[in-house]
Amino acid sequence: MVFPSPGCQTCRKRKVKCDYTRPRCRKCLTGDRKCTWDSDEQTGLHFRSENAFAMGLRRRPPKTSGNPAVPTNSISSAFTQVSNSSRVQPALSLPLEMHALYYYADSVSMETHILGDPSHDYGFHVLPHWELASPESCLRLALTAYSHAVIGRNRGIEQALSLAQRVYAMTVEKIQRAIARISGDTIYQVILAVMLMGSYESVMYFSRESTSSLPPDAVGSRFWGIICHEKGAAALLIARRERGFAANTELDKAIRKKCLHIIILRGGPILDCLKDGRSWGEDGHELQLDSLMIRVLSLRHKSMCFLRDMDAVEPETVDKARSIAMEAYTLDYDLASWPLGLPQNWGFQISRTHSQPSSNVADASVGIPTHNYPSICHATIWNQYRALRLITNAIQKRALVALQPLLEGSFLDTNIKRCQDNINDLAVDLCSGIKFLIAYRTPNRGSEATALHHMPYPSVATLLAWPLTVAVSVDAVQPPEKTWLKSALKVVSLSLGHSLLESVADQGEFKF
């Protein structure tokens, strides 16, 4: 506090220096004046306890006796603060809705200069569009539903889960009305709302209990056939182009890439307008990898015919199986050549150990080489690249195995072994890349991070979800690496609150 004058009132009024002698100072005694002191005044510094205010006590009473609604502009400014500063926690006195929104904002608050290209996931674009949306918009409702679903599942808050279900139903109706009168100002808000609805279903509706009675479909999944939100988002992207609305290139890339990843998992066909990555903003080495991903997607779709009944291949299907095996071989060769054209700053350092991987989760990372990447962005691209090669080699191996009963010779055995060796090396490298991201910039991890005792930051977990889902779905991955990858995916699912990913980690949902 400020340093008040400890002198008597008489000297202060006369503006002369007091010697502070009580009960009568020397100035007043010499001038025969009345020496008056404040009754509660003490000499020295005055202190006032601020502890109560630091713990949340209001300095002024609220204007009403109830809990006033939090103004929208204050929420917006709070989001701006959270999105620019990691791990900002809200006050305990905030209502559940604000806790849920803060929880989501904190999950995407890692700085973009650390994560690299923000187009890796659409979630980084939600808050800027949320701030521009009207209070009654479908995006605001969608974020409310999704944020309550995540915090409700991760924190076991039944009230949040119940509210999330009610808001979800309202959001679906709001999105339908918004599409009917869509414009260039609102189309990206609607697209993001649709994507949030897809993420909401991944959190809420795909627990083991809710899907245990469903039979697997052609790709092994028990529930992905009913998902349509990502298809709707892709259709809205196409509508944006057709109507000439202004483009957000980074968001377009994020939505398209998410859709491509889902199509690969499902083994479905791709729309022609999504094939050319250049027209969606991809360039350089990422464009080259994007074109390879489109070829992997096409190969995956073609291979579905014999992946379902690989043991029932008839002689007349030999030519088709042979064609798929040759296409997979050529594609893997081109994938293997992609790193050769990368600049030096895209590389990573490897530190190898001599011990072997263990099936024990706590020891599973002992035999995994240590990788050091220039950034999270580089590690993410390398992990996606390895996932694409895993798919290609798995399809090629399945095609060759299908041909074994029909063709003789050591040629098939040699190529089957080559595919298995590639899968083994890719799985180990993928484990190393995953381990790097899990331990990245997290304090007090050390060796515990490799044992998966800590969860990765949600922003990073989002980047790990797809390559891990692919890796645990490849049957040819060896048990030690498969165990470690499943454990990593389980930790990622807990970080994101996704019951879908948890189901994949526990019992598998796809077949490659």
Per-residue pLDDT of 392-429, as tens digits, reads: 999 999 888 888 877 777 788 899 999 999 999 999 99
CA distance 502 to 500: 5
Give domain status of residue 50, yes or no.
no
Distance CA 444, CA 140 (A): 36
| Higher per-residue confidence, 51 vs 182 | 182
Among residues 282, 313, 335, the one where a domain terminates is 282
Mean pLDDT of 94-108: 82
- pLDDT of 316 higher than 60: yes
Rounded mean pLDDT of 342-350? 89
**418 and 498 part of one domain:** yes
Q: What is the DSSP string of 216-235?
A: P-TTS-SSGGG--HHHHHHH
pLDDT value at residue 452: 43
Residue 108's Cα: distance from chain center in Å?
7
- Lowest pLDDT segment from 4-18, 84-98, 201-215, 473-487: 84-98
Number of domains in the chain: 3
Q: Which domain holds residue 33?
A: 1-44
Q: Which of 69-78, 197-206, 388-397 has the lowest mean pLDDT?
A: 69-78
Establish if 67 belongs to a structural domain: no
Same domain, 320 and 212: no
End-to-end CA distance of the chain: 70
Position 48 scores a pLDDT of 59
Nearest to 8 by CA among 241, 230, 316, 26: 26
Token readout for 103 is 């929880």
247 in a structural domain: yes
Same domain, 278 and 322: no
Domain match, 256 and 403 both: no
Residue 291 has pLDDT above 80, yes or no: yes
Report the predicted TM-score, pTM, of the whole model to 2 decimal places.
Answer: 0.76
Q: Quick check: is 324 in a domain?
A: yes
Classify residue 86 as left (phi > 0), alpha (psi -120 to 50) or beta.
Answer: beta
Alpha carbon distance 356, 341 (integer Å): 32
HSE toward the beta carbon, residue 165, CA cutoff 13 A: 9
Angle at 294 between CA 291 and CA 296, to 5 degrees: 115
489/467 Cα distance (integer angstroms):
10
Domain shared by 376 and 317, yes or no? yes
Per the domain annotation, does 148 fall within a domain? yes
The answer to whether position 68 is within a domain reads no
CB 484 within 8 A of CB 448: no
Query: Which of 57-61, 76-80, 111-115, 385-389 shows the lowest mean pLDDT across its residues?
Result: 76-80
Residues 443 and 512 in one domain: yes
Q: Note the pLDDT of residue 483.
A: 92
Band of residue 275 on the pLDDT scale cut at 50, 70, 90 = very high
- The reply to whether 171 falls in a domain is yes
Asked if the model's pLDDT at residue 24 lies above 90, the reply is no
**Domain holding 3: CATH number?**
4.10.240.10
For residues 40 and 96, membership in a common domain is answered with: no
Does some domain include residue 289? no
Q: Residues 364-383: what's their mean pLDDT? A: 82
Angle 77-78-84 from CA coordinates, rounded to 5° = 95
Could you tell me which residue, 429 or 4, shows the higher pLDDT? 429
**373 with 415, same domain?**
yes
Q: Which of 332, 338, 327 is nearest to 286 (CA)?
A: 338
Omega cis (within 30) before 23: yes
Query: What is the three-class DSSP state of 70?
Result: coil
Of 254, 282, 310, which one is at a domain's C-terminal end? 282
Least confident segment among 24-28, 68-72, 456-460: 68-72
pLDDT exceeds cutoff 90 at 333? yes
Q: Which of 219, 250, 282 is the last residue of a domain?
A: 282
In eight-state DSSP terms, residue 63 is S
How far is C-alpha 85 from the chain's CA centre? 17
Lowest mean pLDDT among 58-62, 303-307, 373-377: 58-62
pLDDT of residue 303: 87
pLDDT at residue 58, as a whole number: 52
Same domain, yes or no, for 269 and 337? Answer: no
